Each structure stands twice: as structure tokens, then as C-alpha cells.
Amino acid sequence: MPGESTLVPQRKHLNAGDVLFRQNQPVLAFYPLRTGGIKMEYESSLGWRQVTGFALPGDTVGLEPNDVRTFSMSAIALQASDCCVVSVEAAKASMADSAVQAATQAMLRRDALRQHELLVAIGSMKAAQRLAMLLLDLAAEHRRRGIDGGEVMLAMTRVDIASYLGLTLETVSRLLSRFASVGLITVRHRLLHIVDPAGLAEVHADPDRITLRGPAPEQNRFASF
Amino acid sequence: MPGESTLVPQRKHLNAGDVLFRQNQPVLAFYPLRTGGIKMEYESSLGWRQVTGFALPGDTVGLEPNDVRTFSMSAIALQASDCCVVSVEAAKASMADSAVQAATQAMLRRDALRQHELLVAIGSMKAAQRLAMLLLDLAAEHRRRGIDGGEVMLAMTRVDIASYLGLTLETVSRLLSRFASVGLITVRHRLLHIVDPAGLAEVHADPDRITLRGPAPEQNRFASF
DNA sequence: CGTTAACTTGAAAGAAATCAAATCTGGTGG
DNA sequence: CCACCAGATTTGATTTCTTTCAAGTTAACG
């Protein structure tokens, strides 16, 4: 479609599982995500890998702080996705514009903040708290995009979530079921509905609010009469 | 001592426990550490805090990527320490020198790398692996400074180590004892001697190399005869 | 429509946290 | 100089949480 090339420099389409860029490859461009979903994955020197973040439409993938020359992690499509491709030369030019620069800085700062919160979460919170954190974060991101109502279609698998939170997929699955059974959410595979954000926030804050074993949620609060 | 003000712009002395700067305070300077030891601590929005790094003499503390305006974490002296104080103005001036800039970039890059390795470690490795990682890292840092021989005087408490690794102080203590009992290290409180770096590397790589319960290290390999 | 990958759920094992004493250390004041 | 104290560390016993192992179930895709 030659007629379309008005403002858009370059586009790229990805299918689920496609690698947008790979860790340690030279940084040639960055990628504002238009549709779909992407996961960021870091592979350590020993070969252990960990999902370090999820990108939603509107996020910019591949922005590296301190203009490094190689990507610090890989980006992999979770579903069919479309993104723009902004070459580093184009980026350099845009950086002259202080508004663009400020926006970029803001993005990098948000990323760094998220990364720190994740570290603390994994390092010192229980499984339920971590998951509650992720769900609240997802909800907030959707809200920031105007997609309200607490309905989220998860792009990632349980394995991805587990990796991100430093858990196993079984624990994530059980926890989601538990959250649902106490009325915090509803889930059917990828379709998530956040029913009680305040309740989730309590779970996030209180280590003992929800446990995997614990007493089953009371079916009848008058049972003892 | 007015005679001393030849090249040194400003110095600062800290006692154990002193706060060099606090998270969210405006960035007015950064601090090349001369002697002593410093821990970096991040406090999350919910009040959970976590040690995110240790600085040794030669490290520069308080360097923030992407010239943000407030510190992303606090820096606290682990022992009596001395550091230089480089104001941001002075820093701006030095940045004209491309050598300084390159060095700064290199430092920031190393930090980012460490941070990622830590995240993966905490997220997907067992306690023994994490501790082995830290010990190897400490040894490497000392080597990088020419202080060889595997002897390390730890500046941080077990609580700090535990927080850094996402464990409890008891687990750290037990693990150190275990490492010692199998001949990987010797420890007497803060004095650590790394006897078998290769063995530690194996522990780091293999989840099941060392466990807390496991069989006691064989006193006599011919016991069954 | 069948095959495969993703997900849920249960039971058991294992790892680390928690609770609870001891022990050691360095510093303080007598 | 020594006794004493608070903080740091070790060690043990027990509990709790999460993982691991093992089936099933459901959903997506060719």
C-alpha cells in the first residue's frame, strides 16, 4: 500500500512467539507497540531466564537507558502484535525536541520504578501478595489507557506470570482460583475480571490476608447457629 | 586543615549507620567512595524495604541513570566511611570529557547488569545458589581492586545479606555454616575466607549441590566397609 | 475431530520461615 | 581492668508455604 506511507516510517507485524529483538543484539531501533502484547525476558549468565516485564499497546519496547549498544533483554510477542520501528538515527533527531526527550525520560523512569517494585515484591513478599500486585498493576495500566471496567484479557500464559513473579505455574493457577473463590476476581483462562480492587490491595499489603491452605471461604456465615 | 584543599573539592566522613542520602531526596551530588562500605536500600510504596546493593571503596554511590532529579534509593554507611562529594554542576562540567562520560556509562551499565542478575537470582534460584552468587561477586569485586587472597571482611550484617538475597538472617547464617562445613569457605562472624571458588561456582550453578537438611558431609568415605 | 498446549487440582515432599534459646562480640561505665 | 549490656550471630525445633509430582480437564488450532 504505497498510499499509506504518509507519516509512518516503518511498521512491523509479529505473530505469537516471534522475537522482536534478542538480548545482546545491537540496538538498531526501538518499538512503540500499537496492538498486541509483548514480554521482556532476561537470560542470566548461567542460562536462567526470567520474564522481567510485559508491554501493552502504547508502551515503547526496546528503550534502553544510558544509550547502551546492545539490548539488555529479549522481547517476544505474546500474541499477534503490531509495532512501529523507530531507528536510532530517527530517534537521535527527535531527541532534539525537548518534549520527546521528557516523555522518553518519563517512560524510562516508570520502567525503573516498576523494576524496583518487582525486586522488592519477589524478594520479600509472599506469593499472594505478588500476584495481587501484578493484577493491580495490570488494571492500572488498562485504566491509564482508558480501557476501564476491570476486564482484562491476559496475553501471557501462567508460565509467563509465574516467571515474572518468581513462582511456579501451579502456584499462580491455585492463587487465581483462590482469589476467585473469595470473590476478589473472576477468571476463565485468559479472561480476567477484577471484581474487588480494594480487596486485592489489602491482599497486596497484608501477607496473611490470603493463604493457599487456610480455611475455605465461609459459605455461610451463620453456620455456627 | 586549609592546607589540604589542593585538588579535593569536598569530602565527607560517615559513621556506621549514617545516611548519605535518602530515597526521594533531590540529587545534589554523587559520591565516589574512598574507604568503608555503603548499602543501598529501596523502600517500596507499601513500606517494604530491601537492600539492593553494596558499595565498596572505588565504587561511586548515587549515580542515577537518565539524570533523574531525586534519588531512587537510600544510601547508608555500614561502617566508618569516607567519600568524595561531586556536585551535579561539577559533574556536568566533567561530562564534557568523553573519557569521564565513558567511565560513567560503564559504571551504570555494570550496575544495571548486577540488578538484573539479582532479580533472576531472587526470582528463580534457591537460597544456597543466591548466597554463593553473592560471595563470588564479593570475591570478584575484591579481586578487581587488587585485594586478592580470598579474604573478605564483610561490612554488612546477616540481616543486610538476607534482605539483599530475599532470605531471612537465619537462613543466611545456616547456609554460611553449611558452606564452611563442606569446606567451601571459612567464616568467623564478619571475617570470610573463600577457600574453594570453583566449588562455590558449582553451588551457584546447581540447585541441588548444597541443601540445608541434606546428609552431613561425609566424615569418612569408607564408613560402609 | 483429534492432537497438543495450557490450565486446574490434589497429594506429598521439600525448602525456607518462624519461634525460641544460647553464645559471642564490642563497647561502656564502674 | 573487668563486669555487664545490647546487638549480632548461631543453632535447634517446628510450622508454613511453595514446589514437585501426577492426573485430569479445557481450550486452541490445524
**Secondary structure of residue B142 in the 3-state scheme:** helix
Q: How far apart are the first and last CA of chain B?
A: 74
CA-closest candidate to residue A10, choices A36, A37, A35, A31: A31
B42, B114, B119, B204, best to mutate vs chain A, most A CBs in 10 Å: B119
- Find the mean pLDDT for residues B182-186: 97
Comparison of pLDDT for B221 and A189, the residue scoring more = A189
- Give me the mean pLDDT over the A93-105 stretch: 90
A81 neighbors A36 (Cβ within 8 angstroms)? yes
Name chain A contacts of B117, Cβ cutoff 8 Å: 44-45
Given CATH 2.60.120.10, say whether it is the number of domain A1-124. yes
Domain assignments of chain B as residue spans, ordered by start: 1-124, 126-225
Please tell me the predicted confidence (pLDDT) of residue A216: 64
A202 versus A225: which is more confidently predicted?
A202
Do residues A108 and A59 lie in contact, with contact meaning Cβ atoms separated by under 8 Å?
A: no
Which range has the worst mean pLDDT, B22-31, B72-81, B157-166, B210-219? B210-219
Question: How far is residue B25 from each of residues A200, B64, B81, B83, measured CA to CA in Å?
Answer: 30, 12, 21, 19
Per-residue model confidence (pLDDT) at position B224:
47
A63 close contact with B: CB closer than 8 A = no
Task: Decide: A200 and A133 in contact? Cβ < 8 Å.
Answer: no
Residue B124's nearest nucleotide, by CA–C1', is D19
Nearest to B204 by CA among B123, B134, B144, B118: B134
Q: Reply yes or no on whether the pLDDT at B62 is more than 60.
A: yes
User: The whole model's pTM is what?
Assistant: 0.92
Nearest beta carbon to residue A123 from set B116, B124, B166: B166
**A102-116: average pLDDT:** 93
Whether the Cβ atoms of residue A107 and residue A48 lie closer than 8 Å to each other: no
How sure is the predictor about B77, in pLDDT bands with cuts at 50, 70 and 90?
very high
Q: What's the rounded mean pLDDT across residues A59-81?
A: 94
Q: Which grid coordinates belong to B46?
A: 507499601
pLDDT bracket for residue A8 (50, 70, 90): low
Task: Give residue A217's pLDDT band: very low, low, confident or very high (50, 70, 90).
Answer: low
What does the DSSP 8-state code read for residue B143?
H
Confidence of residue B67 (pLDDT cuts 50, 70, 90): confident
pLDDT at position B5 is: 47
Q: What is the mean pLDDT of residues B77-106?
A: 92
Residue pLDDT, tens place only, A21-31: 999 999 999 99
pLDDT at B146 over 90: no
The confidence score (pLDDT) of residue A27 equals 96
> Left, alpha or beta for A146 (phi > 0: left; psi -120 to 50: alpha)?
left
Q: What is the rounded distance in angstroms from the CA atom of residue A112 to the CA atom of residue B192?
A: 33
Q: Which residue has the higher pLDDT, A221 or A109?
A: A109
Strand partners, B50: B42
The b/e string for A213-222 (b: 16+ C-beta within 10 A; e otherwise) is eeeeeeeeee
Using alpha carbons only, what angle is made at residue B122 by residues B117 and B127, rounded to the nearest 5 degrees? 115
pLDDT of residue B13: 95
User: Which residue in B has a C-alpha nearest to residue A166's C-alpha?
Assistant: B123
CA of B194 to C1' of D8 (A): 22
CATH fold of the domain at A126-225: Arc Repressor Mutant, subunit A (1.10.10)
> pLDDT for A150-160, tens place per residue?
899 999 999 99
Three-state DSSP at B2 gives: helix
Contacts of B121 (CB under 8 A, 6+ apart): A44, B129, B130, B133, B165
Alpha carbon distance A63, B204 (integer Å): 31
Q: Percentage of chain B surpassing pLDDT 90?
A: 78
Q: Report the DSSP beta bridge partners of residue A101.
A: none
pLDDT band at B66; cut points 50, 70, 90? confident
User: Burial of A14 by CB count in 10 Å (0-12 exposed, 13-18 middle, 19+ buried)?
Assistant: buried
- pLDDT for position A128: 98
Which nucleotide, over all strands, has the C1' atom closest to the CA of B212?
A: C15
Residue nearest D8 (alpha carbon to C1'): B157
Cβ B119–A50 below 8 Å, yes or no?
Answer: yes
B116 to A68: CB separation less than 8 angstroms, yes or no: no
What was the pLDDT predicted at B149? 78
Residue A3 has pLDDT above 60, yes or no: no
pLDDT of residue A218: 56
**Cα–Cα distance for residue pair A17/B137, rounded to 1 Å:** 34
* B123 with A166: Cβ contact below 8 A: yes
Instruction: Give the residue from B66, B70, B114, B134 with the most A CB atoms within 10 Å of its CB, the best one to mutate.
Output: B66
